[in-house]
Amino acid sequence: MRASSSPRVSALVAVAGLVAAVGACHGAGPGPALAPREDASARPCADFELDVERFWSRSSRAEVRAGLLAAGGSVDESVAGRVVTKLDELSRDWVMMQESVCKDTLVRKVTPPDVYTKVSMCLRTTLISQRTLVSSLRAPSREAAYKSDEALATIRQDAQNCQKDAVYSGYPAVRAPESPGLTVGREALGEARAYAALADKKRLAEALARGLAAARGANDPRLLADLLVEEGERLNRFEVDPKAAAVVADEVLAIATRAGYTAAEASAYHIRGNADATSGRVAEALAWHERARALRERVFGLDHPETARTYNAIGVVYLNEREPNDELALSWFRRSLAIREAALGKAHPLTAATCNNIGSVYLQRREFDEAVRWYQRALTVKEGVYGREHPSTAAGLVNLASAFQGKGDVEQALGLYKQALGIQERALGADHPDVGATMNNLAYAYDASGHFADALPWYRRALAIFTAKLGPTHPRTNMARDGVTTTCAKLPGACTPP
């Protein structure tokens, strides 16, 4: 998500700025700039691997592997090995991308220096995200360990987008060492994107607060807009505070419009659309997403993941209307899927997410065979990406179970619910709210098939978890309590309602 243009500068200056910025490890100071190599004129694009080796070395590999294994749950040697291998691949890809754009500018001279500066700064942010991920995985929470695959996919996608997005970036070229405010702000941006992918809400909020405080005192509207975009996404996704998200989006819009930062303008529309959708203002949500769609199609093209993201968001709005428009939802999801399959591959988590959304359309239409087919397709991707003992895989099993339940195949549904429950208990713990949700689904499956005595204990276990973890008045708690009450009414004399 980059926009506008900037003055042409010396690409050699840009390289020095890049090396200086990524020289420090997470938690350390910015570090001194590296002096140019003596043979820099002969090999001007050498040694980018040193930027990676500062935080991703043999010792850090061992620390990440040990940290993942210590997270517990179902994180085993195969999971730890997979994550380390993906970090190796991401590191190699980053070096190749940085060397390629450097040679295109300095050796082959097919890329303008200002575009090189923009690509390098974009890649620098993704390197900070990778460094933050490595630091987090040295001693991860169990949730962060399970989110590591998704975080890696997000960082990889951000890096791959840098070349194309740089044409539209609006930040100034680097002519001198950065001010402290810019350095802190850009570090915080890279960290925030990693924490968001890990769903580390506390560190995400801290990084954004630090970055925004620094960026407001610096002369870089693009950086401020990018940080505010992350803040708006945080408020929508983690705080579920649509009013606050809308306020942030309006600030992004004002900054981006003045700076000519078109990609950030599109992000502001996207945030407003999601905020209005959460608040139930369907017409307003669609209007905002339509603005985001028009800009992203123009800026990124019809084949870009950001464009697919908007198509998917429009589909979600249509699907979640009070009277869902299934045909329009399905149309937008299919358009999103076509882009994601082509740009990201059929085995990418975002591709699986769109397959899941298509399954939900068919479930709502009561076309259960089609729902099973699409949910199974999403589940296959999740099993391939995350493994069989992962919370995301369990969520896929729950969706598939709901489709079989709709078909009337109760035994198959019960088996899938129980399989999902086992994964969740091992991965998340026996008292996690997601465990309670699957117990409630299991109870409902028994209840709907007339097995009231089998349903009751599952409703009660779900109620106990929700009451302890979410509180006595939470909607999930009320739902489980209603399940106990109605089931008790069907078993006169067998139990006392709560």
Q: Which residues lie below 8 Å from residue 97, measured CB to CB, with a gap of 6+?
A: 123, 159, 160, 162, 163
Q: What is the tens place of the pLDDT at every residue in 171-209? A: 444 444 567 888 999 999 999 999 999 999 999 999 999
Q: What is the tens place of the pLDDT at every residue in 230-240? A: 999 999 999 99
Residue 402's nearest CA partner among 390, 410, 391 is: 410
Query: What is the number of other CB atoms lying within 10 angstroms of the CB of residue 424?
Result: 28
| DSSP single-letter state for residue 235 | I
Token code pair at residue 169: 């970036």
Phi, psi of 477 (to 5 degrees): -65, -45
Q: How far apart are CA 138 and CA 427, in angstroms?
A: 19
Contact 196, 159 (CB under 8 A): no
Q: How far apart are CA 8 and CA 173, in angstroms?
A: 7
Q: What is the tens place of the pLDDT at every residue in 99-149? A: 999 999 888 988 888 888 888 888 999 999 999 999 999 999 888 998 998
Per-residue pLDDT of the chain (498 residues; tens, 9 = 90+): 333 333 322 222 233 333 333 333 333 333 333 333 334 455 778 889 999 999 999 999 999 999 999 988 778 898 899 999 999 999 999 999 999 999 998 889 888 888 888 888 889 999 999 999 999 999 998 889 989 988 998 999 889 888 776 655 544 444 445 678 889 999 999 999 999 999 999 999 999 999 999 999 888 898 999 999 999 999 999 999 999 999 999 999 999 999 888 989 999 999 999 999 999 999 999 999 999 999 999 988 899 999 999 999 999 999 998 888 999 999 999 999 999 999 889 999 999 999 999 999 999 999 999 999 999 999 999 998 888 989 999 999 999 999 999 999 999 999 999 999 999 999 889 999 999 999 999 999 999 999 999 999 999 999 999 999 999 999 999 999 999 999 999 987 767 777
| DSSP single-letter state for residue 322 | S
Q: How far apart are CA 322 and CA 36, in angstroms?
A: 62
Q: What's the confidence (pLDDT) of residue 113?
A: 85
